[in-house]
Amino acid sequence: MIELSGLTVKFGGVNALDAINATFNAPVNGIIGPNGAGKTTTMNVISGFLKCTGRIAWNGQDIGQMPAHKHTRWGLRRSFQKEQIADDLTIAENLQVILDATPGSRADKRADMERALELTGLTAQASTPAGGLNTFQRRLTDVARCLVGNPKIVKFDEPGDGLSREEANRLGDLILQVPEVTGATVLVIDHDVDLIERICVETLVLDFGKRIAFGPTRAVLDDPHVKAAYLGIEDVE
């Protein structure tokens, strides 16, 4: 369970996040909204990159004051809009960078890497330099990095960006397996409403830093206020 209580971020006189409350109980959860709504700001706050007022808790544990450099060891993983992989390292070496920052025996880490490579279908390419990968392979490598080291929270920021429909569907199937394989709670930001509807049990909708809806994804997407703010239909009173 991830609980956001009164989450507020101010940039000068602008409320980037305005007292956001949400409790994510589902294995895979979505965060959606138009550009500038506060989605990535929410991810950055949970990651410890931005200071905020309010409380962030995981299964009752307050993690909001945890320094960002301790998050990897604790179990927080994040896939950014632009894949954060090193082109001069192989796929396996990109995973090893994460494992080197987490506790565990060498044997356990090796087994952990093998599991992540198998789950993402990258076992045969493990020794391939990342600089030679295509867009989908790079995204899979980024996902594999999120699977190692006993993650507790895994966050995906626009994972379907730049992918074909078939690739986005394959990625969605992979994300659905993350909670079962790792035990982690997953948060997904994406403008692909079809992907969000298919994989996310619960969804938070933001607009101008405010919460406008939260709940079961299908019900949220049917909310007239969500359609007005996010789906571009005529506004509602």
What are the chain's domains? Answer: 1-75+189-237 (3.40.50.300)
> What element of type H or E holds 4?
strand 2-11
Please tell me the predicted confidence (pLDDT) of residue 140: 97
Give the CB-side neighbour count of residue 18, counting CA atoms within 13 A.
Answer: 12
The residue behind tokens 């990342």 is 130
- Classify 75 as helix, strand or coil: coil
Cα separation, 69 vs 131, in Å, equals 26
Write the DSSP string, 5-59.
Answer: EEEEEEETTEEEEEEEEEEE-SSEEEEE-STTSSHHHHHHHHHTSS--EEEEEET
For helices 91-100 and 106-120, give the axis angle rounded to 10 degrees.
140
Please tell me the predicted confidence (pLDDT) of residue 48: 86
| Each residue's pLDDT tens digit, 98-113 | 999 999 999 999 999 9
Phi, psi of 50 (to 5 degrees): -125, 140
Among residues 137, 88, 89, 87, which one has the least CA distance to residue 117? 137
Please tell me the predicted confidence (pLDDT) of residue 58: 95
pTM assigned to the model:
0.92
Q: Mind listing the pLDDT tens digit of every residue in the chain (237 residues)? A: 899 999 999 988 888 999 999 999 999 999 999 888 999 999 999 988 888 899 999 999 999 888 878 888 999 999 988 888 999 999 999 999 999 999 999 999 999 999 999 999 999 999 999 999 999 999 999 999 999 999 999 999 999 998 999 999 999 999 999 999 999 999 999 988 899 999 999 999 999 999 999 999 999 999 998 988 765 655 545
Please tell me the predicted confidence (pLDDT) of residue 229: 77
Among residues 22, 211, 182, which one has the least CA distance to residue 230? 211
* Strand ranges across the sheet with 28-32: 76-79, 153-157, 185-189, 28-32, 202-207, 210-216
Please tell me the predicted confidence (pLDDT) of residue 233: 59
* Cα-based angle 234, 195, 36 (whole degrees, multiple of 5): 50
CB 171 within 8 A of CB 143: yes
Fill in the amino acid letter for 189: I
